[in-house]
Amino acid sequence: MSDPIGLGERGVEIWRSLKTGEIARDALVLEAARTADRLDELDNIIQGKGVLELMQFRLDFPEGDDEPFVVEVKFQSVLSEARQQQTAFANLVEKISRYGLSATAPKGGEVKPVPAGVTSLDKIRAKVAQQSR
């Protein structure tokens, strides 16, 4: 399975480490990878290191018009968008973790759902308890 087109460095890293070949899970992994790349780009803007590379603009000008033109692009809600992307990323990671964060599908191909109300801390406590037996 090749890397999806358009992923950045962190997105490719996430994709390669979490893809399994299971369609629904890999769709979540791909969105998490894309969201991570968007967060990197938004962080660059917040730090004043450039413009959002994920955006593309096309301008059509009438031929023969020698008038000067001004193109103005404003990012007025970058911090707000970054917070929204962080929330989206956290939600995607949580959904992926319900299937397990390993890079391979579980043996037997069956994914067991996590019971409602079970937190990551509950999982860790259960593993510790299992190891101490």
88: burial class by Cβ within 10 Å (0-12, 13-18, 19+)?
Answer: middle
What is the domain range of residue 97?
Answer: 9-55+76-131
8: burial class by Cβ within 10 Å (0-12, 13-18, 19+)?
Answer: middle
What is the mean pLDDT of each successive set of 10 residues along the chain, which is 133 residues long? 88 92 89 92 80 59 67 71 90 82 49 61 73 71
> What pLDDT digit, counting tens, does each position of 28-57 carry?
999 999 999 999 988 888 887 766 554 556
Q: Is residue 126 part of a domain?
A: yes
Q: Is residue 47 part of a domain?
A: yes
pTM of the predicted model as reported, rounded to 2 decimal places: 0.56
Split into its structural domains, the chain has a count of 1
